[in-house]
Amino acid sequence: WPKHRYSTIAGFVEPGESAEQAVVREVAEETNINVLSAHYHSSQPWPFPGSLMLGYHATAPKTQISLNDQELEDAQWLSREEIITRLRQGLFVPPPKISISFRLIEDWFNQSATVPLKTLLHESGTSDF
């Protein structure tokens, strides 16, 4: 995993739960943030272990992260402005552009951005762009 690379929360749907319930559970397990709602965004085939990744956007009343387990080395809740600043400082590397995680971040970022994320990545010289 490259230095300063961040992605989105990921996990698996447990038997008996909906995909939306899995989003709520995974976010809580990994960050101690309680999601109020989760909305389907898109999907991506994933070759190992032969899975289908489902991407969701979610809302939460608080953004104070508390890592609950050893799954994550670090977790950040970044505003668009913080992403721009960290990109320019070389302190934020997004997931590869072919990933659903990138699409989730890009779509969220571009909703209110004055400059598209891919343009900023290209200007910053971030690899993979």
| Architecture of the domain spanning 19-124 | Alpha-Beta Complex (3.90)
- Would you list the domain boundaries of the chain? 19-124
* Predicted local confidence at residue 128, as pLDDT: 65
- Please give the Cα distance from 125 to 20 (Å, whole number): 36
- Please give the Cα distance from 17 to 19 (Å, whole number): 7
Q: What is the pLDDT of residues 82-123, one digit of tens each?
A: 999 999 999 999 999 999 999 999 999 999 989 999 999 988
Residue 70 has pLDDT above 80, yes or no: no
- Please give the Cα distance from 117 to 108 (Å, whole number): 10
pTM of the full predicted structure? 0.90
Burial class (CB in 10 A: 0-12, 13-18, 19+), 49: exposed
Q: Using the Cα atoms of residue 25, residue 26, residue 31 and residue 36 in order, give the sign of their dihedral.
A: negative
Q: Pick the most confident of 11-15, 62-66, 121-125.
A: 11-15
